[in-house]
Amino acid sequence: MRDGITLSISAMTARIVIVEDDPSVAELVTLYLRNAEFIVAHARTAAEARTKIEETKPALIVLDLGLPDANGLDLFHEIRGHADTPVLALTARAEDVQKIEALESGMDDYMTKPFNPKELVARVRAVLRRVAGMPGGGRTLIVGNVRIDPARHEVHVGDRPVSLRAKEFELLEAFCRQPGIVLTRDRLLEDVWGFAYPGETRTVDVHVKQLRDKLTGADAKIETVWGVGYKLVAPS
């Protein structure tokens, strides 16, 4: 029974950052995306966007081009400079549309305000499906025989698909992004659970145990570093 529930949650929980200074638009988009079971983080400015994108490593960014502290297209180029995260642009201005159309590569899709939030959700899904289907586009992480695909939200040990709950998935993703590096319990709490549970390090221990149990047959091991935390060790 539990596995059935697990699958339906983990299949959909891709993280999205919405960069939008207009609170009403941000609220509406956040509401619709959350109802579609995405995990949504909101940034009001380009400065906030840089932090949120770094923190959450989203599967997709919804980017308003009219930001108070930067030109949205400049921010787009900056994002593209160091990541292939898909971007769906929001614009209120016809001249921006022309600029977007002039971009030879990059922008994955755009919508002109006002837009139907249901259509935005549909387009987000379409972009994520398209990116997941491209070789390397989903930025699959591989450590030993463990393969984690954040865009599709899938995990394999060898050829065996592994069903993980949302937090187990995020925990494994955190380990796979930094194999061999010791991650403290506090750091993992911050990365995976946010700041809401200071000192609740037992939560991390419980999830690590569950993750170890589910990763039977993996040659990459989550090792305990006594008094510090955990690290994912790849086979030599």
Summarize as ranges the residues that interact with Ca ion (CB under 5 A). Answer: 21, 64, 66
Residue 78 vs 149, nearer CB to Ca ion: 78
CB of 31 to Ca ion, least distance (A): 18
Which of residues 75 and 232 has its CB atom nearest to Ca ion in the complex? 75
**Shortest reach from residue 20's CB to Ca ion, in Å:** 6
By beta-carbon proximity to Ca ion, the closer residue of 48 and 84 is 48
| Amino acid at site 213 | D
Closest distance between Ca ion and the C-beta of residue 91, in Å? 9
Q: Which is nearer to Ca ion, 66 or 106 (CB)?
A: 66
Is 99 or 130 the residue whose CB approaches Ca ion more closely? 99
Q: What b/e readout covers 178-206, taking b as 16+ CB neighbours within 10 angstroms?
A: ebeeebebebbbbbbbeeeeeeeeebbee
**Which residue's CB atom is positioned nearest to Ca ion?**
66
Query: Nearest distance from residue 61's CB to Ca ion, in Å?
Result: 15
Q: How far is the CB of 60 from Ca ion (least distance, A)?
A: 19
CB of 64 to Ca ion, least distance (A): 5
Name which of 48 and 186 has its Cβ closer to Ca ion.
48
| Shortest Cβ 59–Ca ion spacing (Å) | 23
154-157 and 160-162 as β-strands: parallel, antiparallel, unpaired?
A: antiparallel
CB-wise, 64 or 96, nearer to Ca ion? 64
Three-state secondary structure string covering the chain = CHHHHHHHHHCCCCEEEEECCCHHHHHHHHHHHHHCCCEEEEECCHHHHHHHHHHHCCCEEEEECECCCCEHHHHHHHHHHHCCCCEEEEECCHHHHHHHHHCCCCCCEEEECCCCHHHHHHHHHHHHHHHHHCCCCCCCEEECCEEEECCCCEEEECCEEECCCHHHHHHHHHHHHCCCCCEEHHHHHHHHHHHHCCCCHHHHHHHHHHHHHHCCCCCCEEEEECCCEEEEECCC
